[in-house]
Amino acid sequence: MRVVRAKHAGVCYGVERALDMAVVAMMDEDDTHTLGPLIHNPTVVKQLEEQGVKVAKSVDDIESGIVVIRSHGVEPHVMQQLKDKGLTVIDATCPHVAKAQRSAGELRDAGGTVIVIGRAEHPEVKGLCGHAGERAVVVADVDELPDDLIEPVGIVVQTTESKEKLEAVVEAVRARGIEPVVKNTICFATRQRQNSAADLADEVDAIVVIGGKNSSNTTHLYDICKAHCERSYFIERVDEIDPAWFAGCETVGVTAGASTPDDQICAVVDYLETL
Ligand code: F3S
Spacing, Cα 67 to ligand 1 middle (Å):
20
Supply the range of the domain harboring residue 30.
Answer: 13-93
Beta carbons of 36 and 123 less than 8 angstroms apart: yes
pLDDT at 191: 92
Q: pTM of the entire structure? A: 0.89
Ligand 1 pocket, Cβ-based, cut-off 6 angstroms: 12-15, 71, 94, 96-97, 159-160, 187, 189-190, 217, 258
- Predicted ipTM? 0.98
* One-character DSSP codes across 118-141: S-TTSHHHHHHHHHH-TTEEEESS
Can you give the CATH number for the domain in which 229 is found? 3.40.1010.20
Q: How far is CA 187 from the centre of its chain?
A: 10
Q: Cα torsion for 103, 104, 110, 114, to the nearest 10°?
A: 140
Write the residue with the smallest CA distance to atom 2 of ligand 1.
Answer: 187
Where does the chain show beta strands of DSSP type E?
2-5, 32-35, 54-56, 66-69, 88-91, 114-117, 136-139, 154-157, 181-183, 206-210, 232-235, 251-256
- Average pLDDT value for residue range 97-121: 97
Do 106 and 147 lie in a common domain?
yes
Do 242 and 266 lie in a common domain?
yes
- Average pLDDT value for residue range 131-160: 96
Do 193 and 136 lie in a common domain?
no
* pLDDT greater than 90 at residue 254: yes
- Average pLDDT value for residue range 127-147: 97
124 counts as catalytic: yes
Residue-wise pLDDT tens digits, 18-69:
999 999 999 888 899 999 999 888 888 999 999 999 999 999 999 999 999 9
Write the residue with the smallest CA distance to atom 1 of ligand 1.
Answer: 14
* pLDDT greater than 90 at residue 71: yes
Q: Please state the domain count of the chain.
A: 3
Helices (H) and strands (E) in the chain, counts: 9, 12
